Amino acid sequence: MRLGYGLNVEQQQKLIMTPELRQAITILQLSSLELSMYIEQQLEENPLLELREEDAERDQELVESLEGQKVEGERAGEQYDLDWEEYFQDSSDLGLPRVEKDPEPPATSYENFLSQAPTLMEHLLFQLHLSKGVPGSEIIGEYLIGNIDEHGYLRTTVEEVAAALEVDVPAVEETLKLIQTFDPPGVGARTLQECLLIQVEQLGIKDPLLEKIIRDHLMDLGRGRYNRLAQQYNVSVQEVQRVADIIKTLDPKPGRNFSSANDVRYVVPDVVVQKVEGDYVILVNDVSLPRITINSTYRSVLNQRDSCDSQTRRFVESKLNAAAWLIRSIEQRRLTLYKVASCLVELQRDFLDHGVKYLKPLNLKQVAELVGLHESTVSRATSNKYIQTPQGVFEMKFFFSSGVNNDAGTMTSAESIKKMLEEMVASEDPKAPLNDQQIAEIFRQRGIRISRRTVAKYRDELGIPPIRQRKRY
């Protein structure tokens, strides 16, 4: 078999993901806070990027203006015998800061500092160090507190603590009882039952039925088996209902109200929608983003052909292209966000005016066709983004809701149905609550045809308990 060589020309279409395109896609998906951190990172990596000083020209004009005033003042001093230094001691009429000869540094105002809320561990250690326990209990207490999770439960046994610290088990038990008297009530418990019983004791409630149900029948109580418990303890159903009402006031996770390192305390909206004179104004919230520009010193290197070697020129060119692409990608993100937000405001105007009940069904394809973008671009533009509206702050994905056909030939959004479901349950008779089939029938009377299973699904998503748990006796 003979081997031969040949040349063949073939045309193919391929989608190539360049680093620049990948960066643009990444920037589009970032929230405002994430984009701010990303820009800070790029400022460190790319020497051609620098923070833009928007007030530089204005400051220079102010300096030149003040220098001009100084020259005019010197000329006027030749004609008038004035003490200019004394005159300028009171310069409030000129809009200039008052100058003092020997200014004293302002006292530090500690009200200007923000203090972070203490964590659960810090709160417990503070109480431990103030308490008067037996000698050696502080070391045991610190070890125990270190093994209490973010919900307030002890995640080790007293035997393990005693073995680790080489102390007696009774000493650990005594220290644990001390910790269980600390705030928040119920902290340091090993089980849910113990947590609730500690809170009952601290509230000063003496109720044998309450204690028995907490110890042995929390599961039955949670499933609404009030009749069974009433028969078992030979009491009325109303008495079991009273016990259930007390238990509902207790906190099953006493430590959750304290801060932790992973807490998310607030959301910064990426888009702000405000109503001005009857119309809605859309603002892309990029105030917190660092303003970047290209360093003119490095850029001038490219204009001077003999000032650097070819390797330096290639480096500067690559960094210049990266900087220009970054600035372009950030601006494109802003324009895309504005387009999508404007479309959402136009389509969901009834929601902005009247609330969640008037939210219309919407999908990515509808918005993409209206703004002239691909569905994936709209999806990335709304991912991890929040929008502030007169109705509150929502994820932008919130506006893309599925819908159900109604008798009027239009669609009703799932969020609107959930809102109506909440209102039905809130207004029902507690002694005769509505079951899922009855709720579905009410929706059908309103022209919205949904099944009992759909009602149960929406009810679970809203955290609404089933009928037997909502019933009052």
Span 333-347, pLDDT tens digits: 999 999 999 999 999
The pLDDT value recorded for residue 80 is 40
3-state secondary structure of 95: coil
Best CA proximity match to 452, nearest among 463, 465, 436: 436
Question: How far apart, in whole angstroms, are the C-alpha atoms of residue 198 and residue 203?
Answer: 9
Residue 455 lies in a domain: yes
Residue 132 lies in a domain: yes
Residue 316 CB coordination number (10 Å): 19
Q: Dihedral sign for Cα 344, 347, 349, 354, please.
A: negative
Residue 190 lies in a domain: yes
| 460 and 361, same domain (yes or no) | no
Per the structure, the complete domain to which residue 414 belongs is given by 403-470
57 near 49, Cβ under 8 Å? no
| 231 and 276, same domain (yes or no) | no
| 424 and 394, same domain (yes or no) | no
Residue 242 lies in a domain: yes
| 208 and 293, same domain (yes or no) | no
Domain with residue 421: its CATH number is 1.10.10.60
Q: Which of 351, 373, 399 is the endpoint of a domain?
A: 399
The parts of the chain modelled with pLDDT lower than 70 are 1-2, 4, 14-17, 53-116, 133-134, 259-265, 301-308
Residue 184 lies in a domain: yes
| 317 and 409, same domain (yes or no) | no
The pLDDT value recorded for residue 455 is 92
Six-digit token pair at 270?
Answer: 């990426």
Q: Which of 364, 399, 434 is the endpoint of a domain?
A: 399
For the chain, how many structural domains are there in total?
A: 3
Question: Each residue of 263-310: pLDDT tens digit?
Answer: 555 788 999 999 998 899 999 998 888 888 888 777 776 666 666 677
Q: Please, what is the angle between helix 310-347 and helix 19-29, to 10°?
A: 40
Residue 450 lies in a domain: yes
The pLDDT value recorded for residue 386 is 93
| 236 and 206, same domain (yes or no) | yes
Q: What pTM did the predictor assign?
A: 0.62
| 388 and 448, same domain (yes or no) | no
The pLDDT value recorded for residue 76 is 46
| 299 and 369, same domain (yes or no) | yes
| 305 and 395, same domain (yes or no) | yes
Residue 340 lies in a domain: yes
First to last CA, the chain: 95
The pLDDT value recorded for residue 100 is 44
Q: Which of 370, 399, 428 is the endpoint of a domain?
A: 399
